[in-house]
A and B are shown apart, each in its own frame.
Chain A
Amino acid sequence: MEPPKIWREKRQKYLALGISCKKCGKRSFPLSEYCPYCGTNDVEEYRLAETGKILYFTNVSMTSDEMAFNAPYCLGIIELNDGIKVTGQIIDCDYKDLRKGMEVKMVFRILARDGHEGLIKYGFKFTSM
């Protein structure tokens, strides 16, 4: 894991930030300096909605070393209540109980760890409501 990268991205990863465009009014994810819809840099930070529903889901058993402590885990594409879609892990649940349309809320958790004494990467995951 790369310390400068974790440091650089911690604000957007920890706070789940996107942007809201002051010119065309559209919101987008992830955080960026320019609006992907109209190209202006007249944008402001926007905090994503914290609740949403599951659109697609699966489970993951084979994953990279630094995420293996957590496997197997459930993963899905979530449509947040502000219309923005994100990929995220769905935790504290059994895979067999997941359904399309199930309501979930965003929580703050450990995403990856570099062994027992290395860096820890945090970010959002989802849990059922």
Chain B
Amino acid sequence: MRMNGRNVFVIGTGLTKFGEFYDRDSTSLATEALNAAINDAKIDRSSIKSAYFGSMTSNSSPHSVFSSKCLRECNMSIPYTRVEAGNASGAAAFHQAYISLASGIYDCVAVIGSEKLSDFVKNGTIEKILGSTIDYQWEYEIGATLTSLYALITKAHMREFHTTMEQLASVPVKNHKNGKENPHAQFRREIPLDRFLSAKRISDPIGRFDLATHCDGSSALILVSEEYLERNSEIKNKIPILSSEHSTDVLALHHRESLTQIKSTVTAAKKAFAKVGIEPTDIAVAEVHDAFPISEILAIEDLGFFEKGEGGNATEAGLTQLNNKISINPSGGLKARGDPFGATGIAQIVEIVEQLRGRADKRQVSEIEYGLTHNIMGTGVLAYVNIFGQEEMKQ
């Protein structure tokens, strides 16, 4: 076996619509996504030997062990693992599934991301849940929320690089424009710049409309090894996973040297690009973690698409719009698609795979060689970066 393990491919994708579904539970959403992915892969479900579920809150009482219920409804009796990495649980589950195939343990596995957040209607509940993605004892219990920590990060970036409110607001404006063309997105309408600028501030300078919404949704993928494809030559539409890397930073912002760089993103991206042997400029399309406007600006800088400090300028100048210098978040991102934590990281991969297959309709990016996904937990304690290529490429 080679140092990097076996080659791994995505052969099926499935996605529910994202939004608020008061009449449906986690099991129903996950089952819809998994069945869609199996149908898309055009394989017999008995080929799938293991499943990885990414979910942040599925151990809370109304959603306990939805993984088991989902597999039962899909008529599958296979071992499963639930992976939790806060709001990066989806990417974390994908990474574990990738390892299980690259290592030779399995030949065909399913990855399912699912979250049901519209049940938490009481004020402050989501803030408390997100408190477990930051330092719960010394940030959250002291009074910090995830939003307020991103407010500190935003102000630091504004101070250091003269990033403006208009530049920040141009991130969600662009993502809502993209989301309009995504049938799975929660919000399919454009929102003008001044709506973001004039909204009430919930944690200065972050306004009421700047956050990605915490909603319901599920996403799924079928992954196989190269050996599986050799045995099943009828399988088409296989997209290679060229690298899947993750990295870490200290949990609390007060322990970091700088607030304007997410170190975990930088190191995960470096490892991912080195493994494929390409540069950030080779990426045509990327789905990045835009939970807040500053999150996308940091991501496009830390992934190496733009110089540090240039992210705001580049976004305002339109360089990250569809089919410009690099297409960032053609799906609408977390902002317009909605953010059901565990489902997000896998929905990002679904979008990139669909882009590489040329099936993204009005959101289609032309001439893609490589696509990238980026999902982080909290303020970047964990970052996951994956690179995908065209069908004929090998790792």
Residues on A lying within 8 angstroms of B by beta carbon are: 9, 29-30, 56-68, 70, 73, 75-77, 85-89, 95, 100, 111-112, 121, 123-125
Cα distance A111–B141 when bound, in Å? Answer: 7
Cα distance A121–B143 when bound, in Å? Answer: 12
Residues on B lying within 8 angstroms of A by beta carbon are: 122-125, 127-128, 131, 135, 137-145, 147-148, 151-152, 155-156, 159, 201-205, 252-255, 259
11 contacts between A and B (CB under 8 A): A61-B203, A62-B202, A64-B124, A67-B143, A75-B142, A77-B254, A86-B138, A87-B252, A88-B143, A111-B142, A123-B141
Would you call B123 and A65 a contact (CB within 8 A)?
A: yes
Would you call A87 and B139 a contact (CB within 8 A)?
A: yes
Residues of A within 8 A of B255 (CB): 85
* Interface majority SS (helix, strand, loop, mixed), chain A: strand
Would you call B142 and A56 a contact (CB within 8 A)?
A: no
Cα distance A62–B131 when bound, in Å? Answer: 13
Q: Within the complex, what minimum Cβ distance (angstroms) separates A96 from chain B?
A: 10
The verdict on A63 contacting B137 (CB below 8 Å), with A56-B155, A87-B253 known, is no
Residues of A within 8 A of B202 (CB): 61-62
Cα distance A85–B258 when bound, in Å? Answer: 12
Cα distance A32–B124 when bound, in Å? Answer: 30
| Shortest 5 CB-CB contacts between residues of A and residues of B | A58-B151, A64-B124, A85-B254, A65-B124, A56-B152
Cα distance A13–B197 when bound, in Å? Answer: 38
Q: Which of A9, A63, A66, A112 has the most CB of B within 10 A?
A: A63
Would you call A59 and B143 a contact (CB within 8 A)?
A: no
Further 20 A-B residue pairs, CB within 8 A, beyond A65-B128, A111-B141: A29-B138, A30-B138, A56-B152, A58-B203, A59-B204, A60-B143, A60-B145, A60-B148, A64-B127, A64-B128, A64-B145, A65-B125, A73-B143, A75-B152, A85-B255, A86-B138, A86-B254, A87-B138, A87-B139, A124-B142
Cα distance A115–B135 when bound, in Å? Answer: 24
